[in-house]
Amino acid sequence: MHDSTKLSKHAAASTRGGEEARHLEALTDAGKVNIDLLLIKATSTLNLLDIFRRTYDGSHTDLPYVIYQKVKKFSITPYKESETGELEEVEEIIDVDGELKGCTPFTCEVMPQTLRIVL
């Protein structure tokens, strides 16, 4: 899944937006619990708006600047290029809907049957 293409700072693990059936499938794919991971390659603001518009019909995952994967675990580790041209790991603050949740590196993992939900 690693790509030499620089990715923008937009990554989403989401079960919202689009058709409900499509996202229900994302939650339980053949009995397996997954995370929908969207990686958005560095792109224009206009293309970002197009992604948001297309989430309503689910076609945002078909765009050439969007990488869509179903995963059980992912990590975010930001790097920056040093003056010598080498990549250095940097610490960034994790902001989730305006709430500070910690610093990178960050790992998110599906842990089946860890939380009981009563409907």
DSSP bridge pairs for 36 = 70
pLDDT band at 7 (very low <50, low <70, confident <90, very high): very low
60: CB partners within 8 A, 6+ apart: 18, 38, 50, 51, 52, 54, 66
Residue 19 lies in a domain: no
Count of domains observed in the chain: 2
Q: What is the rounded CA–CA span in Å between residue 39 and residue 42?
A: 10
Residue 85 has pLDDT above 90, yes or no: yes
Instruction: State whether 41 and 59 are in the same domain.
Output: yes
- pTM of the predicted protein model: 0.59
Residue 42 lies in a domain: yes
Query: In the prediction, which pLDDT does 66 show?
Result: 92
Instruction: Give the structural domain span for 40.
Output: 33-71
Phi-psi region of 86 (alpha: psi -120 to 50; beta: other; left: phi over 0): beta
Query: In the prediction, which pLDDT does 27 show?
Result: 52
